Structure 1
């Protein structure tokens, strides 16, 4: 009788467990229906590394079985270094290649035996019809899109990721935070009467060569949302350099230099993980020494700012947008400390401390 009771209890637990982890059906950022038998335990992660860790929470690293590591280790090497110091196992994971360099191997991805593949929209698009190999193998693919830089896409990506990982409550809290901060930023901008002219340049090549500016997307899209008058609008499509003569003629009120952790770029503005403020300031001053720049309103008034190029298109980008909002509308954002908000985000949601220089005003 006792044995039968234990057997019955075991059956009940199996039923309850099955009910608790019922089939998950969600819609990804390509409008595709994605079905999982249970929350993902073996993830092949293509992009959005920090967003995955933030949403998936404790134990997230242990669920990664493979990486498209190029966009992390090569594009953001100091960030990669910070995470591999905390989690050495990341460096030992299989690298499945990168769609940007046409080295992405679906065979290598399938060899990691994932129960979920997570890709950025641009990665999924680059794979084209070959992505159907995942369907043939019975492996679900979740496409996210923080690159769209819209509130709707950020929220939808976060919630879809939470559903897939079984961390819906955590995802909802992150979505609520992002929405709250975004709406507060918009309200402050709406109340401001300032509409300064803005020039943004990718500060990768050094002052002797003009780097890309942005219109419509990336930093250009952010400037538009913050009611800045982006001098690149109407001059370029998406990204490209502006002529030095044009920049001088437009006389921007604010200059934004986007820096990062680039390797083998000795004249670039170093910002991000491990970046030293003194060196970043020196490199920004080198840009200010360009012919004619001393007479620009932005330079004359000290309104030259550096911002981490890896800071956009992620769940923490609200802090970078608020930094730029404060640069454009100092009165409206007088009580906002974007650097403290960024640090708090890491404390609350990510497993490392962001050591480095991520935003700064030239001294």
Structure 2
């Protein structure tokens, strides 16, 4: 007669430990509910695998498919492949021009599709999202690109919640916010130098620059004033070399990557040799027009890796820019140490490279 109370207690205990639904509000304010943490994900941007890597020891095991419009850069992909050979089993569900094959996604039977706010304004992506949700596949939106300072922390928490990694996500958020708050506090009353961002920089066909969002946010947070926003209304636009010379910025900051090698531009990033990075930067700032800038002549020029632009590790870039713009305020700041700490504490892979460069003395 004692079995029934014992059985009832066991059933109550089991009910209490049953897996509850996982719910998060995505970056667009849409509630996303999963029956359990996602373990078969399709990434709208392949390079967001490294974001999952900040909160999972083996992010590859969670990803069934990815769109290759914005893939991992080759050296980082190689680093992941060396540690996680299963990465080659991840299926492509789309390539250029934000293409996404709904049929390919459905065939993978994912429990979550992660898109970005860039997809929000694409009519064909709206149709794709509606078709996926009609097929019973949850879709969550995140953003580490369009408005990084506003959306990085909530996007990390969204991914942490939906993949069962709340604690790891919170650990990185605390690290990120502590570094960010140090910068903001010291810059509270600091003057803001005028900064020109020359993105995808090459010695010819100058100059592509940035308006609101992305690098504009990085410059502003680091205590600078992005003068490109005075001439460019969108995220990216072009100004003439004559405009740049007339604008006479206090600082000239160029961005580059291995994708710029074929154009003779600034080459930086994973597995880039420091001497090669320096040579490409010296060639850039020796170009007609750019070489005449007061910022270049005064040594207030630098080159930075472009692909800091879609990852929470942009905190390293912000630290570098803050120290560049305000050396007296940030004498103790070591952006390279921050990068090493992220790799040692959070990332499952380490990729050496050249992340920034300045004129040779």
**TM-score, structure 1 length as denominator?**
0.89
Which residues of 2 match residues 34-73 of structure 1 at below 5 A? 34-47=32-45, 48-55=48-55, 57-73=56-72
Shift of 1:310: 0.7
Alpha-carbon displacement from aligned partner over 1:295-338 (angstroms, at most 9, x marks no partner):
42221122221111111232111111110111111111110001
Is residue 2:317 matched to residue 1:304?
Answer: no
Separation in 1, partners of 2:264, 2:5: 74
Unaligned runs of 5+ in 2: none
TM-score by length of 2: 0.90
- Where 1:161 maps in the other structure, the secondary structure is helix
Counterpart of 2:324 in 1: which secondary structure? helix
CA 1:154–1:102: 2 relative to 1, 3 Å: closer
**2:101 aligned with 1:105, yes or no?**
yes
**Pairing of 1:189-200 with structure 2 (within 5 A):** 189-193=187-191, 195-200=192-197
Equivalent positions of 1:177-326 (< 5 A) are: 177-193=175-191, 195-204=192-201, 206-238=202-234, 239-262=236-259, 265-326=262-323
Alpha-carbon contact 1:96-1:104 (below 8 Å) kept: yes
Deviation at residue 124 of structure 1 after TM alignment: 4.5
Q: Tell me what 1:171 maps to.
A: 169
Count of aligned residue pairs for this structure pair: 354
- For 1:300 and 1:247, the matched residues in 2 are separated by 15
What do the CA deviations read for 1:245-266 (whole angstroms, capped 9, x no partner)?
Answer: 1212222221111011217624
Describe the superposition over 1:216-258 as per-residue Cα deviations: whole angstroms up to 9, x where unpaired.
2222232233332323232121222221112122222211110
Structure 2 vs 1, CA of residues 121 and 293 (structure 1 numbering), >3 Å: closer, same or farther? closer
What is the Cα deviation at residue 106 of structure 1? 1.1
Measure, in 2, the Cα distance between the counterparts of 1:131 and 1:203. Answer: 31
Question: Are 1:93 and 2:59 an aligned pair?
Answer: no
Relative distance call for 1:97 and 1:264 in structure 2 (3 A) is farther
What does 1:131-146 correspond to in 2, within 5 Å? 131-146=129-144
SS in 2 for 1:143: strand
Check conservation: 1:253, 1:296, Cα contact below 8 A.
Answer: no
SS, match of residue 199 in structure 1 = strand
SS at 2:188 equivalent: helix
List structure 1 runs of 4+ shifted beyond 4 angstroms: 3-14
- In the TM superposition, what are the counterparts of 1:117-132 in structure 2 within 5 Å? 117-126=113-122, 127-132=125-130
Following the alignment from structure 1 to structure 2, what is the Cα–Cα distance between the partners of residues 290 and 169?
49
Secondary structure, aligned partner of 2:54: helix
Whether the 8 Å CA contact 2:54–2:347 is kept in 1: the answer is yes
Q: Which residue of 72, 80, 83 maps to 2:80?
A: 83
Q: Please give the per-residue CA displacement for 1:165-205, whole angstroms capped at 9, x wherever unaligned.
A: 11111111112222221111111222433x3221111235x
1:170–1:220 CA distance, 2 compared to 1 (3 A): same
CA contact (8 A) 2:268 2:305 kept: yes
Q: Conserved in 2, the CA contact under 8 Å of 1:72 and 1:79?
A: no
